[in-house]
Amino acid sequence: MTDNKPPTAEAISNGETHAAPTSIAQQYDLLPKLIPNLDRHLTFPLLEFLSGLEGGESSEVLKAKYELLKQTNMTDYVASLWQEINDSDDVPEEFVRKRDEVLQRLSLFTDETKQIDELLNDESVVSNLRSDKVANLKFLEQQHGVTIQMVDMLYDYGRFQYSCGSYANAAHLLDQFRILSTDNDKASSASWGKLAADILTTNWEVVMEEVNKVKESIDTKLFNNPLAQLDHRTWLIHWTLFPFFNYEPARDTITEMLFSPSFINTIQTNCPWILRYLAAAVITNRSRTRNTGAYQKQLKDLVRVVRQEGYEYNDPVTEFIKALYVDFDFEEAQKKLGEAEEVLKGDFFLSATADGFVEAARHLISESYCKIHQRIDIKDLSARLGLNQDEGEKWIVNLIRDTRMDGKLDYKEGTVLMNHPANSVYQQVIERTKGSFFRTSVLSAAVAK
């Protein structure tokens, strides 16, 4: 128990370890902004990833790990960090003493929660529980002698197990506590603890269930002030980055959540750096959903927010979006794409998606370029995409086939002729006015209030 160690970066992300980051990646490192919004246990994999980028564990990273975990109950691992930092084979007495205290408390918690834990694992007892927590407590008290203090002990034991690095046990105990507790504040705290524990055990399906529970709690709970609600949404946004880029089925769900009005407002107000992750998700989603209205709306919303927040936050990823969709500067977009690739490789959450991002971004550059120009020089477009002429030719052929654009390849001239038929006046009127009825209805309803 006391010799537990938090999961490594590889265990969390399954991402490859890359070479040392370039100055561009260091310049746009988001670690100082992410750490204040993460639990100390969730921060550990990010420090492990940083060690891998630097090609070895520097003394600064070792000290950061030690400072991060010295308040936890992982006494054996913390002691090993101290030995490594101080180049010593001896273990200070304080670590030995704390280890004994942890083991004593563990034994005490085990004895005090044994009865209620056995009851909650007894199918005949669980089958008699209902959705009414007050009635459940009354039933357990009358039939089995369970008290409120015994229920609260599950919460304390779950937190203790989490501090020891026993995340699976912590998740189990905190879940049992939520089933019975009528203390809403503690139940909310237990939900956050279970979410963190499930993230650290990479149980992504359960993580997404917990994300929905925490989100619902934030949306429905009556906070004393709006700032507290804003802070809770900010924390949830940062915590969801773990399943966002490590669990494919979660990608669409979390993207939709982040684009919802309350969460996009939180990003703009409290954490604009999350736009990097939102942009990366939207761009890499291109291959799956590019022909749907939902994807086009997300891309349009992303461009709008990036343009609005440009004064507050920018990095090569958001600057790529701006160059391509706001300035229509293809040379700048290609330059920023190269920088963005380096930034992504140096980012814990995005390192495994760097290649997919570059591939999808090249498609977006090509699509935009072909939509604007009628006659395209293959050599010129290939250079903009960072490809040789043969690769560029194959790329354009595949692009025209995949996107069903009306284009004709002239091998002799080395050009592509794009056909852009103009919409009729009637179609333009329909496109411009098709949402006016809905907007008028909303406006009328607002005025009526």
Amino acid (one-letter) located at 194 = K
Alpha carbons 401 and 418: distance in angstroms, whole number:
13
Look-up: residue for tokens 């002698």? 145
Q: Please name the helix (run of DSSP H) or strand (run of DSSP E) that holds residue 414, with its range, or none.
A: none
Number of H helices, E strands in the chain: 27, 3
Rounded to whole angstroms, the Cα distance separating 365 from 381 reads 9
**Partner residues linked to 408 by β-bridges:** 417
Is the distance from CB of 50 to CB of 31 less than 8 angstroms? yes
Query: How far lies 96's CA from each of 89, 133, 234, in Å?
Result: 14, 42, 38
What pLDDT score was predicted for residue 158? 94
Render each residue's pLDDT in the chain as its tens digit; 449 residues. 666 767 765 666 554 444 445 578 888 999 999 999 999 999 999 988 888 776 556 788 888 889 999 899 999 999 999 988 888 888 888 989 999 999 999 999 988 888 888 888 877 777 777 777 788 778 887 887 888 888 899 999 999 999 999 999 999 999 989 988 888 889 999 999 999 999 999 999 999 999 999 999 998 877 777 888 999 999 999 999 999 999 989 998 999 999 999 999 999 999 999 999 999 999 998 765 544 677 888 899 999 999 999 999 999 999 999 999 998 888 898 899 999 999 999 999 999 999 999 988 888 887 787 777 667 777 777 777 777 777 767 767 776 666 666 666 666 667 777 665 555 666 666 666 666 666 677 677 667 65
Q: Dig out the tokens for 398 from the structure.
A: 């595949």
Q: How far apart are CA 359 and CA 283, in angstroms?
A: 9
Which is it for strands 375-377 and 407-410: parallel, antiparallel or unpaired? Answer: unpaired
DSSP string, 5-43: -PPPHHHHH-PPP-SPP-HHHHHT--HHHHGGGS-HHHH
Q: What is the 3-state secondary structure (H, E, C) of 47-69?
A: HHHHHHHCCCCCHHHHHHHHHHH
| Buried-exposed string 129-164: b where 16+ CB fall within 10 A, e elsewhere | beeebeebbebbeeeeebeeebbebbbbbbbbbbbb
Tell me how far apart the alpha carbons of residues 142 and 264 are, in angstroms, rounded to a whole number: 49
Q: How far apart are CA 213 and CA 207, in angstroms?
A: 10
Cβ neighbours of residue 44 closer than 8 Å, sequence gap 6 or more: 6, 7, 65, 68, 69
Q: Which H or E run contains 418?
A: strand 415-418
Instruction: Give yes or no for a contact between 326 and 303, defined as CB atoms under 8 angstroms apart.
Output: yes
pLDDT at 10: 62
| Both structure tokens of 68 | 């991060």
Name residue 418's beta-bridge partners: 407
* Location of structure tokens 């709306």: 297
Distance from C-alpha of 378 to C-alpha of 34, rounded to nearest angstrom? 42
Phi and psi (nearest 5°) for 412? -65, -45
CB 391 within 8 A of CB 377: no
